[in-house]
Homo-oligomer: A and B are copies of this chain.
């Protein structure tokens, strides 16, 4: 952010891969992160999906689809406009994996 010298604009954080997502969430401690995992396992149980016949990870795709691959966050005064407790999380729904690509794109509002 500092390197880009953009004062006002947008930063897009995008996870490449259809079984991961980007979520803005509190990171004061691990509790909310654990609760996110608990909730998604309850809402989207593993097993019984049509896609399981391919890769046995149908639930991973569905979780990623709900969370979505990206968030677009304002840049305010040269910094990300997150609030005190907001942070950006990569949600890995089909891991652990040795590698996940995340593309970060910065746009200047030109003002």
Interface size on A, residues (CB 8 A): 57
Across the interface, which residues of B come within 8 angstroms of A62, CB to CB?
32, 35-36, 39
Known A-B contacts A68-B24, A74-B105, A76-B103; the reply to A12 vs B14 at CB < 8 A is no
Give chain A's interface secondary structure class: mixed
Q: In the complex, what residue of chain B is closest to A37 when comparing beta carbons?
A: B50
CB atoms of B65 and A10 under 8 A apart: no
Q: State how many copies of this chain the complex holds.
A: 3
Q: Least Cβ distance of A94 to chain B in Å?
A: 11
Which of A18, A61, A109 is the most central at the interface, judged by chain B CB atoms within 10 Å of its CB? Answer: A18
> Could you tell me which A residues sit within 8 Å of B by CB distance?
8-10, 12, 14, 16-18, 23-26, 28-29, 31-32, 34-36, 38-39, 43-44, 49-51, 53-54, 58, 61-62, 64-76, 81-83, 85-86, 101, 103, 105-110
